[in-house]
């Protein structure tokens, strides 16, 4: 039994822990500069939970441990807003923005160029209101119809970007803050990935995910959703705290512990407004959350009062809306595209529609499971969405609009390109054309892959050229590429003699490659670069890979039964073996792989070190990771396996969080190294 500690040191430790946790939240959400790694945050929180469990009398409602834990509710109580939550009038183009600036100036009887406006991005989430009584969060509510909303306090308490208690000594007796609850793109993708893995329903977009999460009766569920809050308005505050301008109030909110938009800017007159809207339009793609426009507010609060309201919207503010990213249209037909590995992808042929300035006439339907999930049919009316550069998506089907002649979408029994039979293997979601390289569609895609940068890297052999070569039947297999002659190539339309010569020269260069690239270039289903590398390292020689049994393949690190069976059946096909022999015959070769290099635990992984380490120097940490087979890189991306965050880690840590990359602190790294290092590997690191 451990001795019970005396109360005073425990009280001190508890308040220190609470302050540390609150500071960590503040730095992360308000200052955008994470102070401590996640693992450290979790450690502090666990310690606080332990202490509070031992001393229940010391638990307070605003303790960071009390974010989650309220029992599921039966329903949400009605909350009447003391100040109505209004909406905003919209402007859809520059003219309407300029007209707004003109109206404001006229009413204020001033010169248009002298009005200051505070501009913010228009976050695409849900408006909520938070009430603080003497600095403590007492109520959180949805907008509802603007007069009456729903009390969702327990759910809102779970958001770490919402302070449970206001910061600082001197806080207003009453404060009502409004802002938007939203979900970041990275949080949304992670949530949907998890849902897919579990086989549960995925959300159509971050906004729906945020709305669905706030409506959960069990705050435990809301707590597990990556929701964030950004404040944009003060509805009520003690007079002493009032400021002359909206922008000053926003700064005050930051002091009190709220995240406000880092994009806020104060601009002058109509030109300033138009410029801000343009800038936000350009920023939009680079943000990790959805915005659907900009909110333009007269900055001076006295001027706001003077301008007042018309019906349900203030005269002092305007929402500039970006062109909608979603539109409705009709699925006219569904065709099937054949990919490199023969996979058939259903593509919806749409009634052309303008979405965010671009005409959309096709959208991918991914696979038959997706068609079933959407319950989509030909002639259905659907909502299409285009976000950034991504391929247009069908978000949902408007079931009520289904016409009588709606037709069920069926997977064809024959490949639409080569007429070979279409097979669906086991319980795989994908159906594939069985034609292999006999199928021109697969041949084109296989050649594109073969020539791509990470494969044989054939400079100058682009998509159009490959299409032309396959259509003329000059190239049927990858080996045929090496038989091309410059004179013949020069006969192609738009092909100058010089380009033809260059292409032949680059084919000559690409003939000499590495075993890993060669294996990758073969385009074996599910075999990416990392697997190709692992195979080359493990077997050292091509024919040993080709003749390996299923068990021998499964013995390679990171190769599971599914990938092993793809590799095994690929090499079991006689025509694939012939293609390989033919490639060797036309002179494709590679250096021998030095065998004996053992598979390392971190082979194929990229790690990033950031912040200051204590026990190790950067170089030591790097050497020890490299000795375990890792690559240590300076920048964080989706491909990063883990980020080691020391003290004062900054933007890299934040990026890792945004991308959902594993983060570990130095003690965790040391524990990890201790677990994986063998006498050999630590020797080679020193
Ligand atoms: S100010 C008097 N600022 O837009 C209205 N609203 O139609 C004060 N919104 O439901 C609203 N970002 O959810 C304001 N920076 C921002 C905003 C914002 C998003 C939403 C809000 C509201 C809707 C207005």
- Break the chain into its structural domains and give their ranges: 7-66, 90-321, 326-408, 440-591, 606-685
Could you tell me the distance, in angstroms and rounded to a whole number, from the CA of residue 299 to the centre of ligand 1?
Answer: 15
Q: 41 pLDDT exceeds 50?
A: yes
Of the candidates 81, 103, 83, 79, the residue with the CA atom closest to the CA atom of residue 91:
103
Exposure string for 611-649, b = 16+ CB within 10 A, e = fewer: bebeebeeeebbbbbbbbbbebeeebeeebebbbbbeeb
Of the candidates 81, 100, 83, the residue with the CA atom closest to the CA atom of residue 319:
100
Helices (H), 308-437: 368-374
Reported as a pLDDT band with limits 50, 70 and 90, residue 3 is very low
Distance CA 557, CA 545 (A): 14
Residue of the CA atom closest to atom 18 of ligand 1: 122
| Higher local confidence (pLDDT), 277 or 632 | 277
Q: Flag whether the pTM goes above 0.85.
A: no
Dihedral of alpha carbons 257, 261, 262, 268, sign: negative
pLDDT digits (tens, 9 = 90+) for 312-362: 899 999 999 988 778 899 999 999 999 988 999 999 999 999 887 789 999
| Neighbouring C-beta atoms of residue 148, cutoff 10 Å | 15
Which ligand 1 atom sits closest to the C-alpha of 125?
13
Reported as a pLDDT band with limits 50, 70 and 90, residue 38 is confident
Could you tell me the distance, in angstroms and rounded to a whole number, from the CA of residue 355 to the centre of ligand 1?
Answer: 23
Q: Measure the CA angle with vertex 134, ends 9 and 243; round to 5°.
A: 125
Of the candidates 265, 260, 235, the residue with the CA atom closest to the CA atom of residue 250:
260
Tokens describing residue 627: 């000795």
Fold match, 90-321 / 440-591: no
Could you tell me the distance, in angstroms and rounded to a whole number, from the CA of residue 255 to the centre of ligand 1?
Answer: 21
pLDDT digits (tens, 9 = 90+) for 563-580: 999 999 999 988 889 999
Reported as a pLDDT band with limits 50, 70 and 90, residue 366 is confident
Distance CA 415, CA 318 (A): 54
Q: Measure the CA angle with vertex 263, ends 258 and 266; round to 5°.
A: 100
Could you tell me the distance, in angstroms and rounded to a whole number, from the CA of residue 143 to the centre of ligand 1?
Answer: 11
Averaged pLDDT, 593-621? 78
Could you tell me the distance, in angstroms and rounded to a whole number, from the CA of residue 29 to the centre of ligand 1?
Answer: 20
Largest CA distance in the chain: 92
Residue of the CA atom closest to atom 2 of ligand 1: 86
Averaged pLDDT, 478-501? 93
Ligand 1 neighbours (beta carbon < 6 A): 86-88, 120, 122-123, 127, 143, 180, 232-233, 295, 314, 317, 319
Residue of the CA atom closest to atom 17 of ligand 1: 122
Are 332 and 351 in contact, with CB atoms under 8 Å apart?
yes
| Neighbouring C-beta atoms of residue 32, cutoff 10 Å | 12
Q: 256 pLDDT exceeds 50?
A: yes
Distance CA 502, CA 507 (A): 9
What is the percentage of the chain residues whose pLDDT exceeds 70?
95
* Residue in 145, 232, 246, 314 to alter for ligand 1 test, most ligand atoms within 8 A of Cβ: 232
Could you tell me the distance, in angstroms and rounded to a whole number, from the CA of residue 122 to the centre of ligand 1?
Answer: 7
| Neighbouring C-beta atoms of residue 139, cutoff 10 Å | 16
Which ligand 1 atom sits closest to the C-alpha of 143?
10
At residue 682, the pLDDT reads 54
Q: How far is residue 283 CA from its own chain's centroid?
A: 16
Are 136 and 66 in contact, with CB atoms under 8 Å apart?
no
Distance CA 507, CA 458 (A): 6
At residue 680, the pLDDT reads 55
Are 35 and 27 in contact, with CB atoms under 8 Å apart?
yes
Distance CA 17, CA 68 (A): 17
Domain 90-321 listed as CATH 3.20.20.30: no
Pick 440-591's CATH classification: 1.10.150.20, 1.10.600.10, 1.10.340.30, 2.40.50.140.
1.10.150.20
**174-183, 193-202, 644-653, 656-665: segment of lowest average pLDDT:** 193-202
Could you tell me the distance, in angstroms and rounded to a whole number, from the CA of residue 63 to the centre of ligand 1?
Answer: 30
Helices (H), 26-109: 38-54, 94-107
DSSP 3-state assignment of 649?
coil
Phi, psi of 514 (to 5 degrees): -120, 160
Q: Measure the CA angle with vertex 398, ends 396 and 399; round to 5°.
A: 115
Exposure string for 495-512, b = 16+ CB within 10 A, e = fewer: beeebbeebbebbeebbe
Please tell me the number of Cα atoms within 13 Å of 381 on its side-chain side. Answer: 9
Of the candidates 39, 40, 37, 47, the residue with the CA atom closest to the CA atom of residue 17:
47
**126-140, 174-188, 524-538: segment of lowest average pLDDT:** 524-538
> Which residues have a catalytic role annotated?
122
Distance CA 141, CA 118 (A): 26
At residue 686, the pLDDT reads 46
Q: Measure the CA angle with vertex 313, ends 309 and 317; round to 5°.
A: 85
Q: 42 pLDDT exceeds 90?
A: no
Which ligand 1 atom sits closest to the C-alpha of 127?
13
pLDDT digits (tens, 9 = 90+) for 409-442: 999 999 999 999 998 866 667 889 988 878 999 9
Q: What does pLDDT average to over the chain?
A: 89
* Residue in 233, 249, 258, 301 to alter for ligand 1 test, most ligand atoms within 8 A of Cβ: 233
Averaged pLDDT, 276-305? 94
Q: 641 pLDDT exceeds 60?
A: yes
309-310 vs 313-314, strand pairing mode: antiparallel
Region class of 143: left (phi > 0), else alpha (psi between -120 and 50), else beta:
alpha
Reported as a pLDDT band with limits 50, 70 and 90, residue 5 is very low
* CATH number given to 606-685: 3.40.50.10190
Distance CA 377, CA 66 (A): 48
Q: 671 pLDDT exceeds 60?
A: yes
Exposure string for 437-450, b = 16+ CB within 10 A, e = fewer: bebbbbbbbbbbbb
* Residue in 84, 128, 177, 180 to alter for ligand 1 test, most ligand atoms within 8 A of Cβ: 180
Architecture of domain 7-66: Orthogonal Bundle (1.10)
pLDDT digits (tens, 9 = 90+) for 168-222: 988 999 999 999 999 999 999 889 888 877 767 778 788 889 999 998 999 988 8
* CATH number given to 326-408: 2.40.50.140
Q: List C-alpha distances in Å: 551 to 527, 558, 577, 596.
A: 17, 13, 20, 20
**111-120, 150-159, 407-416, 637-646: segment of lowest average pLDDT:** 637-646
| Neighbouring C-beta atoms of residue 21, cutoff 10 Å | 20
Residue of the CA atom closest to atom 10 of ligand 1: 127
Which ligand 1 atom sits closest to the C-alpha of 88?
7
Residue of the CA atom closest to atom 23 of ligand 1: 87
At residue 2, the pLDDT reads 46
pLDDT digits (tens, 9 = 90+) for 59-117: 998 899 988 767 777 889 999 999 999 999 999 899 999 999 999 999 999 998 899 99
Exposure string for 167-199, b = 16+ CB within 10 A, e = fewer: beeebbeebbbbbbbbbbbbbbbebbeeeeeee
Q: 593 pLDDT exceeds 80?
A: no
Helices (H), 55-143: 94-107
Phi, psi of 565 (to 5 degrees): -75, -30
Reported as a pLDDT band with limits 50, 70 and 90, residue 1 is very low
Q: What share of the chain is helix, strand, coil (3-state, %, to 5)?
A: 40, 20, 35
At residue 463, the pLDDT reads 92
Q: 229 pLDDT exceeds 80?
A: yes
pLDDT digits (tens, 9 = 90+) for 23-35: 999 988 888 777 7
DSSP 3-state assignment of 102?
helix
Distance CA 155, CA 301 (A): 32
At residue 153, the pLDDT reads 95
Averaged pLDDT, 466-479? 93
Which ligand 1 atom sits closest to the C-alpha of 126?
13
Report which DSSP code applies to 491. T
């Amino acid at each position: 039994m451990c001795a019970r500690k005396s109360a005073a040191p425990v009280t001190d430790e508890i308040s220190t822990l609470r302050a540390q946790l609150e500071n960590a939240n503040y730095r992360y959400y308000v200052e955008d500069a994470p102070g401590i790694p996640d693992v450290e945050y979790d450690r502090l929180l666990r310690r606080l939970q332990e202490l509070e469990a031992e001393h229940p009398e010391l638990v307070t409602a605003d303790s960071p441990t009390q974010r989650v834990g309220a029992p599921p509710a039966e329903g949400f109580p009605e909350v009447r807003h003391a100040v109505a939550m209004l909406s905003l009038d919209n402007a859809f183009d520059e003219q309407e923005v300029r007209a707004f600036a003109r109206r404001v100036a006229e009413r204020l009887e001033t010169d248009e160029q002298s009005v200051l406006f505070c501009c913010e991005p228009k976050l695409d989430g849900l408006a909520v209101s938070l009430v603080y009584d003497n600095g403590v969060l007492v109520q959180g509510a949805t907008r509802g119809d603007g007069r009456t909303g729903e009390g969702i306090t327990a759910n809102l308490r779970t958001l770490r970007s919402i302070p449970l208690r206001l910061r600082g000594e001197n806080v207003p007796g009453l404060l009502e803050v409004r802002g938007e609850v939203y979900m970041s793109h990275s949080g949304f993708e992670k949530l949907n990935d998890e849902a897919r893995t579990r086989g549960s329903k995925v959300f159509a977009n971050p906004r729906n995910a945020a709305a669905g999460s706030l409506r959960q009766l069990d705050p435990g569920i809301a707590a597990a959703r990556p929701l964030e809050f950004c404040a944009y308005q003060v509805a009520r505050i003690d007079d002493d705290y009032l400021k002359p301008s909206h922008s000053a109030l926003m700064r005050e909110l930051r002091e009190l512990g709220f995240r406000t938009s880092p994009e806020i800017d104060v601009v002058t007159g109509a030109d300033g407004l138009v410029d801000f809207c343009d800038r936000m339009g350009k920023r939009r793609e680079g943000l990790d959350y959805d915005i659907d426009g900009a909110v333009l507010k007269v900055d001076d609060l006295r001027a706001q009062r003077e301008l007042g309201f018309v019906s349900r919207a203030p005269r002092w503010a305007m929402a500039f809306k970006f062109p909608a990213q979603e539109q409705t249209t009709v699925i006219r037909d569904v065709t099937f595209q054949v990919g490199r590995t023969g996979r058939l992808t259903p593509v919806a042929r749409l009634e052309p529609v303008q979405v965010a300035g671009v005409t959309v006439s096709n959208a991918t339907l991914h696979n038959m499971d997706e068609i079933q999930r959407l319950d989509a049919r030909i002639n259905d009316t659907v909502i299409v969405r285009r976000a950034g550069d991504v391929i247009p998506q069908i978000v949902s089907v408007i079931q009520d609009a289904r016409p009588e002649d709606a037709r069920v979408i069926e997977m064809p029994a024959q490949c639409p390109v080569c007429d070979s039979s279409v097979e669906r293997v086991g319980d795989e979601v994908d159906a594939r054309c069985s034609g292999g390289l006999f199928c021109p569609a697969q041949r084109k895609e296989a050649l594109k892959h073969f020539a791509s940068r990470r494969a044989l890297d054939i400079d100058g052999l682009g998509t159009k050229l490959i299409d032309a070569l396959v259509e003329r039947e000059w190239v049927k297999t990858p080996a045929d590429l090496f038989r091309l002659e410059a004179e013949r190539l020069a006969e192609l339309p738009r092909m100058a003699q010089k380009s033809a010569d260059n292409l032949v020269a680059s084919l000559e260069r690409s003939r000499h490659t590495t075993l890993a690239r060669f294996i990758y270039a073969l385009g074996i289903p599910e075999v990416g670069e990392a697997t190709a590398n692992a195979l080359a390292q493990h077997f050292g020689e091509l024919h040993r890979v080709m003749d390996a049994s299923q068990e021998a393949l499964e013995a390679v690190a990171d190769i599971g039964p599914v990938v092993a069976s793809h590799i095994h059946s690929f090499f079991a096909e006689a025509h694939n073996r012939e293609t390989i022999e033919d490639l060797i015959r036309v002179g494709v070769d590679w250096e021998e792989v030095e065998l004996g290099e053992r598979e390392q635990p971190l082979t194929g992984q990229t790690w990033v070190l950031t912040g200051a380490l204590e026990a190790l120097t950067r170089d030591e940490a790097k050497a020890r990771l490299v000795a375990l087979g890792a690559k240590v890189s300076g920048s964080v991306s989706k491909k990063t396996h883990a980020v080691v965050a020391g003290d004062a880690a900054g933007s890299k840590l934040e990026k890792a969080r945004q991308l959902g990359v594993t983060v570990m602190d130095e003690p965790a790294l040391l524990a990890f190294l201790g677990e994986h290092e063998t006498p050999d590997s630590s020797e080679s690191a020193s």
